[in-house]
Amino acid sequence: MIVWRGWQAFAIGAIGASAFVGPAGAAPITKFVSKQYHYSVVLPGSPGSWMLISAFVPWSQGALEPGAPQFDTLSDGRTAWFFIIGERKLATGSTLGKWTGYFLSTQALDCKRTSPISRSMLGGQTGSTFTFSCSDGVVGIGIDAVHGQGGYFMVLSTHYGSLDAAYRREFDAARSSFQFSGG
């Protein structure tokens, strides 16, 4: 279950985010750079349309919780969709299969997978993509991947609606823009 606590704790604005505008007439985009987990992702819309809490402690235990200090949480004020992104240090020799098994367990995501696992890419790494549904009504799509000694994940979730084409486009655009950086 993805539990929402402390909406009022969300920082509104552009903490760690930058606005980029492409060619004339192009829609604004926001690039978020995670200082805790050393990645960047580009999201649609101006920084003012995103509510952001940046992770500031490593994820070592507990299930996903938007706004918790161990996760980057980015909420789209236009759609009420929210990204949760993070990383967990893995034991030497960990594989994508082992990481996906852990991530989809009640110890991490704590929601029911609602689709077969398919392969996709996250930051140039092979990843596992899936949809999920939680007991509190949250639905979403996610990907996890292994990079270096870390198990990374990115989920896009919502309390409202279904996983329609626009939802999947936003997830795929973020997934395609995701880049690992040095750390």
Q: What is the pLDDT of residues 110-162, one digit of tens each?
A: 789 999 999 999 999 999 999 999 888 899 999 999 999 999 999 999 987 77
Contacts 24+ apart (CB under 8 A), 145-148: 145/96, 145/99, 145/121, 146/90, 146/94, 146/95, 146/96, 146/99, 147/123, 147/180
150-177 exposure pattern, b = at least 16 Cβ within 10 A, e = fewer = bbbbbbbbbeeeebeeebeebbeebbeb
Three-state DSSP at 87 gives strand
pLDDT at 21 over 80: no
pTM of the model: 0.85
Q: Work out the average pLDDT over 3-20.
A: 38
pLDDT in tens, 44-74: 888 889 999 999 999 988 888 889 999 999 9
- Higher-confidence position of 2 and 12: 2
Residue 74: what pLDDT? 96
CB 131 within 8 A of CB 140: yes
Q: Tell me, what's the pLDDT at 25? A: 54
Question: What is the reported pLDDT for 159?
Answer: 87
How confident is the model at residue 26, as a pLDDT? 62
Rounded to whole angstroms, the Cα distance separating 152 from 34 reads: 12
pLDDT of res. 3:
45
Taking the C-alpha atoms of residue 92 and residue 127, their distance in angstroms, rounded to an integer, is 18
Superfamily covering domain 7-180 = Mog1/PsbP, alpha/beta/alpha sandwich (3.40.1000.10)
